[in-house]
C-alpha cells in the first residue's frame, strides 16, 4: 500500500518543478548520450600525465 504524499504538500511546494540540471544529469547516465551541458567532460580527455608532471614540479619547489 502506498500513500499519496502530494496531498500533504503546501500550495507553494505543489507548484515546484524539477530542476533542469537534475533532468540533464539523468540523461548523462545513459552511456550513449554525450552531453556538453552538464559540465562533466569525459575523464579520458584529461591530460593526466601533464597535470601529474606540473603538480610534482610545483610541490617540489614549494
Q: Is the pTM of this model over 0.85?
A: no
Provide the residue range defining the domain that includes 32. Answer: 5-61
**pLDDT tens-digit map of 17-37:** 888 888 878 887 888 887 776
The confidence score (pLDDT) of residue 35 equals 72
How many domains does the chain fold into? 1
- For all residues of the chain together, what is the average pLDDT? 85
Report the share of the chain in percent with pLDDT over 70.
95
The confidence score (pLDDT) of residue 47 equals 94
Q: Please report which confidence band the pLDDT of residue 62 belongs to, taking 50, 70 and 90 as the band edges.
A: low
**What gap in Å lies between CA 27 and CA 58, rounded to an integer?**
38
**What gap in Å lies between CA 11 and CA 8, rounded to an integer?**
9
Amino acid at each position: 500500500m502506498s500513500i499519496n504524499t502530494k496531498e500533504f504538500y503546501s500550495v507553494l511546494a505543489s507548484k515546484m518543478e524539477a530542476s533542469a540540471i537534475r533532468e540533464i544529469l539523468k540523461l548523462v547516465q545513459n552511456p550513449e548520450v554525450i552531453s556538453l551541458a552538464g559540465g562533466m567532460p569525459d575523464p579520458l580527455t584529461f591530460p593526466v600525465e601533464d597535470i601529474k608532471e606540473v603538480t610534482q614540479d610545483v610541490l617540489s619547489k614549494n
